[in-house]
Chain A
Amino acid sequence: AQSVTQPDIHITVSEGASLELRCNYSYGATPYLFWYVQSPGQGLQLLLKYFSGDTLVQGIKGFEAEFKRSQSSFNLRKPSVHWSDAAEYFCAVGARNNDMRFGAGTRLTVKP
């Protein structure tokens, strides 16, 4: 079965600074990888996904993620963080015709 690890529980960055959220997965075959964002009391919004092809994936709100098979990683990046990016971020791994497993989440705080 697939699993996901997000090593950082909480990250604080200054507004305008760059951001990288880490995600490592475990799965025997080629995974389907996702990043979702959750604002307090809200559902999850899909930021981006990777199924195949180009390993650098562009998403909404200026986010991107890079799939590195050799490192079993799918880290999320943004070059310049905005205060509105403060939220909880979840990495998830899915498998074909199977369910999705979520990481524990990383809470992002943005300092003014």
Chain B
Amino acid sequence: GAVVSQHPSWVICKSGTSVKIECRSLDFQATTMFWYRQFPKQSLMLMATSNEGSKATYEQGVEKDKFLINHASLTLSTLTVTSAHPEDSSFYICSARSRGGGETQYFGPGTRLLVL
């Protein structure tokens, strides 16, 4: 149980294009989903927290217009990197916290983004 998937697992795009990453909780309802960014050999940095049906809460320094988050259902959240630039290249990981599941977050396998 408590499986989280991400799609795609990796993506290469040209500078200026937009990329959408999906995060799904496969066997539970996720009232809250989190988006993290991880640079090579570094820890996870929380980008934003999204609750189903409401606007995401972004961490300081994260541009909400650049990293669009939608949490339209209890099993799906999407992160769209708009007008991507090479500096947006990173490993993006989502996690989900279940309704009634306490404070444990279950993580997706991550999406590696490379912007050329």
Contacts and interface: CB of A to CB of B under 8 A. Distances in A.
Interface stretch (A21-29, A61-69, A77-85, A94-102): A94-102
Contacts of B41: 107
For the residues of B in contact with A, the DSSP-based class is strand
Interface residues of B, number: 22
Interface size class of A (residues with CB under 8 A): 20 to 34
Contacts, number: 51
A45 B107 contact: yes
Contacts of B49: 99
B109 A46 contact: no
Contacts of A97: 103
Interface of A: 32, 34, 36, 41-46, 49, 51, 90, 94-97, 99-105, 107
Given A43-B6, A46-B107, 15 more contacts: A34-B104, A41-B91, A41-B112, A43-B4, A43-B109, A44-B44, A44-B95, A46-B106, A51-B102, A51-B103, A94-B105, A96-B103, A99-B46, A100-B46, A104-B42
